Amino acid sequence: NAGVIQTPRHKVTGKGQEATLWCEPISGHSAVFWYRQTIVQGLEFLTYFRNQAPIDDSGMPKERFSAQMPNQSHSTLKIQSTQPQDSAVYLCASSLASQNTLYFGAGTRLSVL
């Protein structure tokens, strides 16, 4: 079991460019979560899928952030027109529906210059 896999580990974009972050959940896990991690805000919830369906995107900045889960083996988080304040570590986590445990990936560190 390779755990939750996130790619790339690091991404550097220029202001205004697009960034796409990838997440492969643990096989068999039906819930996938995206969080943004910063020193100031800690772990901020972005969005959540269950059985590939979007359940809650209340944490997503609406204009520029979007997330999809086209199949059970991967999810993407897309940020359009990136801004310096988007710089953060983006963490993906998955869990079994019957468990109270989140398994996190190592994260993607996004740096917007």
Partner 1 sequence: GDSVTQTEGLVTLTEGLPVMLNCTYQSTYSPFLFWYVQHLNEAPKLLLKSFTDNKRPEHQGFHATLHKSSSSFHLQKSSAQLSDSALYYCALRLSNTGYQNFYFGKGTSLTVIP
Binding residues for partner 1 (CB under 8 A): 3-4, 31, 33, 35, 40-45, 48, 50, 55-56, 91, 95, 97, 100-107
Q: Please give the radius of gyration of the chain, using alpha carbons only, rounded to the nearest integer.
A: 13
Which residue in this structure is represented by tokens 């740096």? 111
Q: Which is nearer to partner 1, 34 or 82 (CB)?
A: 34
Q: Which is nearer to partner 1, 74 or 102 (CB)?
A: 102
Q: From CA 24, how far away is CA 6, in angstroms rounded?
A: 6
Smallest distance from partner 1 to CB 44, Å: 8
Distances, alpha carbon 31 to alpha carbons 20, 35, 41, 42, 96, in Å: 20, 13, 23, 21, 6
Q: Residue 49: name the closest of 62, 59, 39, 41 by CA.
A: 59
Smallest distance from partner 1 to CB 58, Å: 9
Q: Which is nearer to partner 1, 83 or 99 (CB)?
A: 99
Under DSSP, the state recorded for 10 is E
Smallest distance from partner 1 to CB 14, Å: 26
Q: Which is nearer to partner 1, 12 or 96 (CB)?
A: 96
Smallest distance from partner 1 to CB 91, Å: 7
